[in-house]
Amino acid sequence: MERAGGLAVTALALREQAVARFTDPGHLEALGSVQLCCERLQQLPERLRERWPLLESGGGRRLDPDDLARRLTREEKALQREAEGPLRQERRRLVDQLRRNLHAAHQGMDEREARLLALAHRLEAIDGGLQQLRRQVDHQWPSTEASDAAMASAIEPLDEALDQIERSLDAGTA
C-alpha cells in the first residue's frame, strides 16, 4: 500500500511537470494522455485500500500446482491458436501470470502470498513505466519534435499494468 502511495505522489509531480511543459497546442493530446494516466495512478492507493480485505484473504490456502499446471497447459495451447491482437496480448499476460503462480505454488505459497506477490510485480512494472514516462517528458517536451505516438508508447506499459490490477481487483484475484 505504501508503494502505491509513493507511486501516486510521483504521478502527481509528473502530472504537474507535464502541464508546465506541454505548452504547444499540438501537444494537447499527449498532455491529456499523461494527465489521464497520472490520475489513474493517483487513484490506485484508494482502490487498493478499498480492496485490502480481498488482498489479505486466502492466507493458509495453498495454491494447487496440479490445477495451475492444467490451466497453464490449456492457456498455452489457446495462446498458440490465438491470432495477433489485443486478445492474444491478454492471453499472453494470463499465461505469464499462471507461470508465476505455478512457481509460487511449487515454493509453497498460499493464495494470499501469491496475490500480494503478483501485486508487487505489477507495482514494479508501474514504477519502471513511470520513470520511463518521466524521462520522455523531461527529454521531449517542450520540443517541437515530440510526438503523440512517442508519448502513447511510454504510457502503454503503465496503462497495461493498471488495467491488470483493476481486472484482478474486480475479479477478486489481485
- What are the sequence ranges of the domains in the chain? 2-61+112-171, 62-109
Beta partners for residue 110, in sequence order: 62
The pLDDT value recorded for residue 110 is 85
DSSP characters over 71-95 = HHHHHHHHHHHPPSSHHHHHHHHHH
pTM of the full predicted structure? 0.74
Residue range 17-37, pLDDT digits in tens: 888 877 777 777 888 888 999
Residue range 137-158, pLDDT digits in tens: 887 665 655 567 777 888 888 8
Assigned C-alpha cell, 136: 520522455
- In sequence order, the 6+-apart residues with CB closer than 8 A to the CB of 110 are 58, 59, 60, 61, 62, 63
Contact between 102 and 72 under an 8 Å Cβ cutoff? The reply is yes
Assigned C-alpha cell, 62: 495453498
Place of cell 499476460: 93
The pLDDT value recorded for residue 86 is 77
**CA pair distance 72, 103, nearest whole angstrom:** 11
Distance of CA 18 to the CA centre of its chain: 21
Question: 118: closest CA among 32, 48, 33, 26?
Answer: 48
